[in-house]
Amino acid sequence: MTGSSERLVRLLNMVPYLRANPGVSYDQAAADLGVSRNQLAKDLAQLTFCGLPGGAGGDLIDICYDDDGLAIDVLDSQGMDHPLRLTSTEAATLLLALRALADVPGLVDPAATRSALAKVEAAAGGVPPEGHPPAGAQESAAVAAVRAAVRDRCALSIEYYSASRDALGSRVVDPIRVTLIDNQSYLEAWSREADGVRLFRFDRIQAAVMLDEPSAPPEPAVAAETDTGLFNADPALPSATLRIAPDSAWMLEYYPMRLLAENADGSLDAAMTYASEAWMSRLLLGFGSAVTVLEPAALAEQVRAAAAEALRAYDLTD
């Protein structure tokens, strides 16, 4: 569990704990909650900004505690010490959100998601949609290993398919976090091979093994926000500018591309890096007239020549 998740769970538990122990001292509360006195003070300050929508004085949790730490009292819990009651609309919305979250690999524990879904469905008096598979049931061994490595802060050995290089490679990484970008989940990690932060798409991680050593990414890499500029790939690699027909716009979700322009006819101009001109030519041939190479000229000529050769071969066998 990440630090932010741990704190969320602790904050959710603090209000009923403090309600059940009115006047508890800082030292006793810190010991019972398993945190330092300094962290407890930070958590109490955070709780005073939590509550119901609106954010006005009467909408927020009200906690009374003095500077000498002798006593802590909850004056207004905003209902956080009572069981949650959902309307049918809220329950349906929550179920949809849980199922959507469960469909994205690596973000959540499938067992926890199934348990939460079952509880909400039971409370709402409903049943899972007919034919809908259990949430998270299809998690692969690789995805489970990545989640475990992030949770336990362990180094990871992965087999990863690079679409731009059309190659499967092995590397050892130090996981930082799991992140969601454009409805795709990625492992953000420090690549020891590249000596830098890289993003690894979950559906391209073919295998993963958690190593018996701690994950040790540089602190600045951990503190920094996710850099989506990593999608621009290696600047040392050649780049092609492509014009993609509207019906093939899905390419931008599957291949590492950068959108350059949206044209009036619905077509898209995008840049894509590649390591092998021969591989890139084969890839583009498969899309036929749906993708046009705008530049470089050498790649466009190679694609045209390969297409002409294929047509000649077809004529000979016809």
- pLDDT value of position 242: 94
- pLDDT value of position 131: 43
Residue with tokens 């909400």: 120
Q: 175: buried, middle or exposed (CB in 10 Å: 19+, 13-18, 0-12)?
A: buried
pLDDT in tens, 32-81: 888 888 888 888 787 777 766 655 556 677 777 766 667 787 777 666 66
Residue with tokens 């004085």: 57
| Distance, CA of 76 to CA of 129 (rounded, Å) | 39
pLDDT beyond 50 at 129: no
pLDDT beyond 80 at 25: yes
- pLDDT value of position 207: 93
User: What confidence tier does 291 reach under pLDDT thresholds 50, 70, 90?
Assistant: very high
What six digits make up the tokens of 66?
């003095």
C-alpha of 60 from chain center: 30
| End-to-end CA separation in angstroms for the chain | 61
Cα–Cα nearest to 167, from 252, 248, 237: 237
For residue 302, give the DSSP letter. Answer: H
Q: Three-state SS for 306?
A: helix
Residue 241, amino acid: T
pLDDT beyond 60 at 88: yes
| Distance, CA of 256 to CA of 232 (rounded, Å) | 7
